[in-house]
Amino acid sequence: MEKTVFSNHLEITDREMETALDYASSAVLANLKDFKDKFQKAYSEDGFYHPIENDYWTCGFWTGEVWLAYEYAKAHAVKNLTDGSVVPDAAEALKEAGEVQVESFLHRIDEKIEVDHHDMGFLYSPSCVAAYKLIGSKKGKEAAIKAADQLITRFHPVGEFIQAWGPMNAPENYRLIIDCLLNLPLLYWASEETGDPKYQEIAEKHIHTAVANVIREDYSTWHTFFFNMETGAPDHGATCQGYRDGSAWARGQAWGIYGMALAYRYTGREEYIEIFRHVTEYFLQHLPEDLVPYWDLEFTSGNEQPRDSSSASIAACGMLEMVKYLPKEERGYYVTIAKQLLKAVYDTCAVRDFTKSNGLVLHSTYSNHSPYNTCDHKGVDECNSWGDYFYMEALTRLTKDWEQYW
């Protein structure tokens, strides 16, 4: 397979990465005044996140940012964004906030607050698994194992997949979505911690079903895929957040890239490496000139459609994960691409002035309603919580030997 090369694009430099992480960590710290007991909404409005309770599928990303900033603050001075002075005990403040939020996640799973969906990994990996790995949080471990228990209740033995949304056992809900590949590391982690293989066995079955159905012949991807309730046979693909059935929703493709890297990490199945290469190639071939993806890969250079910068950061994280397992001679290629994507995000989307936005990365799109899709219209051309999180994760991956939360 010929691989796309962006010969006219610069890579983000070490200095730019340092500046970017420095700003991001300072902004996370500054945001604790509003978002310690509360969480950031999934998307900003006119550049500003508002506080919400811990009751949405995206809340784990904010806590993940707190932990990434904590990791940064342990090794670097973190500045006050108003006067540039060094904040004393920044790491301690971030750790304390992270612990407060872990308590909230434990409460959430104990009380079953908005956990009737598959996003337990998005919620509990960057918050509670991270807390356990970083500071040995017992509450983090307890909460994350309970979240894994919750997630496996959504597994359908008929069809062998984890149902994404809605009440179980209704034909209109009998589907998986590509995003779920990021929810599965929680199950592998739970098997490792408990010694009980049941979590991992379910994850493995779901990966197999997902890969067999969401990836099309040309290596573009379906956002969602339905199964027959009686027989479990694959039925049909459909979009929810993409432009139309049959197009490639940019973030879905990016979840596919990162998802295949994680699938390989946990299963060791060689065929996933080749799928990773192809799914990534499709994504790269459909990027516009400036490398900041449109919200759907159907749209290319010269379009007025909104962008989804978060897809670039997610894809970069997936490539940086996959390079750990690739032959030596291939690693440089994906690191270069990841750095080029991050350079594009840094240059054109990164927030540099806290008075203009309390987020980190502009020009992201949550759900853009079209005449051909089924999603609500929200968070279009704004900061998105996961866009901020994966930007920080990608920068962290590139600047230190990072023990991942996923």
Which residues are designated catalytic? 119, 179
CA distance 249 to 297: 6
Q: How far apart, in whole angstroms, are the C-alpha atoms of residue 284 and residue 306? A: 18
* Contact between residue 396 and residue 405 where contact means Cβ atoms under 8 Å apart: no
Q: How far is the CB of 222 from ligand GLY (least distance, A)?
A: 14
Rg over alpha carbons for the chain, rounded to the nearest Å, is: 20
Going by C-alpha positions, the residue among 152, 148, 151, 167 that lies closest to residue 229 is 167
- The Cα–Cα gap between 270 and 327 comes to 12
Is residue 179 a contact residue for ligand GLY (CB under 6 A)? yes
Specify the residue, 71 or 179, whose C-beta has the smaller distance to ligand GLY.
179
Length of the chain: 406
Whose Cβ is closer to ligand GLY: residue 11's or residue 119's? 119
Q: Which of 141, 251, 343, 397 binds ligand GLY (CB under 6 A)?
A: 251
CB of 1 to ligand GLY, least distance (A): 27
Helix (H) or strand (E) run with residue 124 in it: helix 120-124
- Could you tell me the smallest distance in angstroms from the CB atom of residue 218 to ligand GLY? 22
Site for ligand GLY in 221-250 (CB under 6 A): 241
Binding mask 362-381 for ligand GLY (x = CB under 6 A): ----x---------------
Cα separation, 160 vs 206, in Å, equals 6
Torsion angle of alpha carbons 294, 297, 298, 299, nearest 10°? 20
Q: Which residues in 103-115 are b (16+ Cβ under 10 Å) and which e?
A: ebbbebbeeeeeb
Nearer to ligand GLY, 226 or 366 (CB): 366
Size of the site for ligand GLY (CB under 6 A): 4
Closest CB to ligand GLY among residues 241, 313: 241
In whole angstroms, the minimum distance from the beta carbon of 308 to ligand GLY comes to 9
Q: Which residues within the stretch 122-141 sit at the binding site for ligand GLY (CB under 6 A)?
A: none
Q: Is 382 in the site for ligand GLY (CB under 6 A)?
A: no
Q: Strand 39-40 vs strand 224-227: parallel, antiparallel, or unpaired?
A: unpaired
**Between residues 23 and 366, which has the closer beta carbon with respect to ligand GLY?**
366
- Provide the minimum distance between the beta carbon of 366 and ligand GLY in the complex, in angstroms, as a whole number: 6
Using CB atoms, what's the residue nearest to ligand GLY? 179
Using CB under 6 A as the criterion, which residues of the chain lie in contact with ligand GLY when the complex forms?
Answer: 179, 241, 251, 366
